[in-house]
Amino acid sequence: MELTKEIQEFLHNNALERFLRYVKIWTTSDETKESVPSTKNQLDLGKLLTEELKELDLEDIAHDELGFVYAFLPPSKGFEQVPSIGLLAHVDTSPAVTGKDVKPVIHKNYDGKEIKFIQDKDLILNFDDSPHLKEYIGLDIITSEGDTLLGADDKAGIAEIMSACVAWTKFPELKHGPIVICFTPDEETGLGIDKVEIKKLPEICYTVDGGEIGELEYECFDAWRAEFIFHGLNVHSGYAKNKMINSIKIASMFFSDFPESESPEHTQQREGFFHLTKMKGKAEETTARMLIRDFDPEKNQRRIDYIKHLKNTYEIRYPGLIIDIKFTHQYQNMLKFIKKKPIIIDLAKKAIENADLEPKIHPIRGGTDGARLSAKGILTPNLFSGGLLFHSRKEHIPTLALQKAAEVLIYLAELWTKEK
C-alpha cells in the first residue's frame, strides 16, 4: 500500500491544525509533586481529546481522574485476529520552561537564516543550536514566540496519533488491526505511567515521543535518582570555631568532588553521567537531588558505590556531619526486553522506510514511558514525533514531521495486519 497524495495532504493539514490547537492548552507538570496528575490543568487537554475521540466514534473511551485517556479503534473487517497494537503520547509538558500561554509561530519556507523570536530579541535559533535545520530549508518551521517552550514534546505525538485515527475512519482503504490509544499524564515527572491500567494495553505498544524525523529508539538509560540530606550544626558565627558544621558549604565541596567529565554537558551518545539537578539549604541542613545515568547497569552501580564512598569520607573529615542518601531506581534500559521480540522493531523500521524516510536508530539519552512499560511486559519502543530542542524556548518542529509521523503510524498498522 502506498498513501495517495490526497491522504498525505489530509494528514499534513489535519495534524498541523490539531497541533496548533493543542499547544495552546497549558499542561505543564510539576516535578515537586508526588501526585498524579501533578497539575490539574493536564485534565483540560484530556477532556478535549476525549470529546474528539467520541466524535470519531471510537469505542471504550475513558478519561479517568488521574488524567489518562483511553480509546479503542476496532479493526478493519477481516483483520480481527491480527495482533493488537497500542499508540501512546503524553499530555504534559516539561516544567523546565513555562508552557503557559504558548503562541505558536509558523516560519514559512525556511530560508536557512537565523530564526528570531518575537518576545525575546536576543534569542536566536540557528544551525549551531540545531544542525537538523539544514535539512529543513524550504519547509515550514513552527516555534513559540520565545517566551515559552513550544510543547511539541509531546503534543506533536498526540496530534499525529489523532490525525492517524481520523484517517483510519475517513479512508476505509487504510487497513489496520485492533488499535488502543492511550494519552498519559506526567511523563515528564516520571510518575504517570506507574498509574496506567496495564490491562487496557496490548502487549505491543509504541510511544510517539521521539525527536528528529525518522528516529526510532529502543534503548535507553538505566536510571537512578539520589536524594541527599546533609545534617549540619549552626552556631553563631562569632563563636563558630571548631563547632559549626556548615552543611551547605560542605555539600558544595561534596558535589565538586564529582568528575566534571561525567556530567551531561560533557557527555554524549553512550556515555553516562552524574547530574546534580537541585540543591537548597542553610548551615543547619541542605538537601540535594542527583540523577545517575548509564546504559550499562554495572557502570551505574560503580557510580552509586562512588557516592557511598564519598559520603563516608566526608563524615570522617567533618565529625558530627551526617549525610543521609536515598537511592531510587527510576527505570531500566528497555533494550533487554524489546530485543526478545525483534519483529516489533523490524516492522517499525519498515514503516519508516515506507514513508520515504531513512530509519535513524539512536539510544535515548533519557527515558520514556516505554522504558517502564517494557519492564512490565508491554514492549514499547519509541517513534519520532519530529520536534527538536525539547524543554527549551528554542524548541521547534517542521510541519512535515507532523505529516510523516502520522504516515508512519498508518504504514505500521497496515504492516501488523500481515502478522498472524
Mean pLDDT, rounded, for 21-35: 95
Q: Judge if 37 and 116 occupy the same domain.
A: yes
Reading the block at residue 393, the C-alpha cell is 524556548
Asked if residue 365 has pLDDT above 90, the reply is no
Q: Which of 52, 92, 215, 219 is catalytic?
A: 92
Mean pLDDT, rounded, for 287-309: 97
Separation of alpha carbons 229 and 262, rounded Å:
22
DSSP state letters, 157-205: HHHHHHHHHHHHHH-TTS----EEEEEES-TTTT-GGGGS-GGGS-SBE
Asked if residue 332 has pLDDT above 80, the reply is yes
* CATH number of the domain bearing residue 177: 3.40.630.10
Which pairs from 315-318 meet CB under 8 Å and 24+ separation? 318/245, 318/250
Q: What percent of the chain has pLDDT over 90?
A: 95
Query: What's the pLDDT band for 229 if we cut at 50, 70, 90?
Result: very high
Mean pLDDT, rounded, for 340-366: 95
End position of a domain, from candidates 312, 331, 350: 331
DSSP state letters, 279-315: EEE-SSEEEEEEEEEESSHHHHHHHHHHHHHHHHHHH
Structural domain of residue 321, as residue ranges?
222-331
- pLDDT tens-digit readout, 93-141: 999 999 999 999 999 999 999 999 999 999 999 999 999 999 999 999 9
End position of a domain, from candidates 310, 331, 352: 331
State the pLDDT at residue 146.
97
Q: Which amino acid is at 23?
A: V
Q: Judge if 227 and 202 occupy the same domain.
A: no
State the pLDDT at residue 367.
77
State the pLDDT at residue 368.
78
Mean pLDDT, rounded, for 259-263: 96
Query: What's the pLDDT band for 419 if we cut at 50, 70, 90?
Result: confident
Q: Judge if 24 and 168 occupy the same domain.
A: yes
Neighbour order of strands in the sheet with 141-143: 105-107, 141-143, 396-398
State the pLDDT at residue 309.
98
State the pLDDT at residue 393.
98
State the pLDDT at residue 366.
80
Looking at per-residue confidence, does 330 or 384 come out higher? Answer: 384
Separation of alpha carbons 349 and 215, rounded Å:
9
**For residue 222, which of 316, 332, 112 has the smallest C-alpha distance?**
332
End position of a domain, from candidates 303, 331, 359: 331
92 is catalytic: yes
DSSP state letters, 88-126: EEE--B-TTS--TT---EEETT--SS-EEETTEEEEEE-
Q: What is the overall mean pLDDT for the chain?
A: 96
Q: Judge if 78 and 133 occupy the same domain.
A: yes
DSSP state letters, 200-261: GS-SBEEEEEE-STTEEE--B-EEEEEEEEEE-B---GGG-TTT-B-HHHHHHHHHHTS-GG
Separation of alpha carbons 399 and 9, rounded Å:
12
Q: Judge if 37 and 133 occupy the same domain.
A: yes
State the pLDDT at residue 134.
96
Mean pLDDT, rounded, for 292-305: 96
Q: Is the dihedral of CA 117, 123, 128, 131 positive or negative?
A: negative
Specify the number of domains making up the chain. Answer: 2
101 is catalytic: no
Q: Which of 187, 188, 215, 407 is catalytic?
A: 187
Q: Judge if 41 and 162 occupy the same domain.
A: yes
Query: What's the pLDDT band for 27 if we cut at 50, 70, 90?
Result: very high
Q: Judge if 343 and 282 occupy the same domain.
A: no
Mean pLDDT, rounded, for 229-233: 98
Asked if residue 39 has pLDDT above 90, the reply is yes
Asked if 129 contacts 222 with a C-beta cutoff of 8 angstroms, the reply is: no
* CATH number of the domain bearing residue 306: 3.30.70.360
Out of 120-129, 230-239, 361-370, 374-383, which region has the weakest mean confidence (pLDDT)? 361-370
- pLDDT tens-digit readout, 153-210: 999 999 999 999 999 999 999 999 999 999 999 999 888 999 999 999 999 999 999 9
Q: Judge if 48 and 154 occupy the same domain.
A: yes
State the pLDDT at residue 169.
96
Q: Is 139 helix (H, G, I), strand (E, B) or coil?
A: coil
Q: Judge if 154 and 92 occupy the same domain.
A: yes
Q: Judge if 43 and 177 occupy the same domain.
A: yes
Separation of alpha carbons 411 and 414, rounded Å:
5
Beta bridge partners of 212: none
Asked if 331 contacts 293 with a C-beta cutoff of 8 angstroms, the reply is: no
State the pLDDT at residue 201.
98
Mean pLDDT, rounded, for 296-309: 97
Q: Judge if 99 and 172 occupy the same domain.
A: yes
Instruction: For residue 74, give Cα distances in angstroms to 86, 190, 306, 379.
Output: 12, 30, 52, 21
Mean pLDDT, rounded, for 248-276: 96
Mean pLDDT, rounded, for 289-298: 96
Q: Judge if 50 and 184 occupy the same domain.
A: yes
* pTM assigned to the model: 0.90
Neighbour order of strands in the sheet with 179-184: 59-63, 69-73, 179-184, 85-90, 205-210, 382-384, 215-217, 360-361
Q: Is 384 helix (H, G, I), strand (E, B) or coil?
A: strand
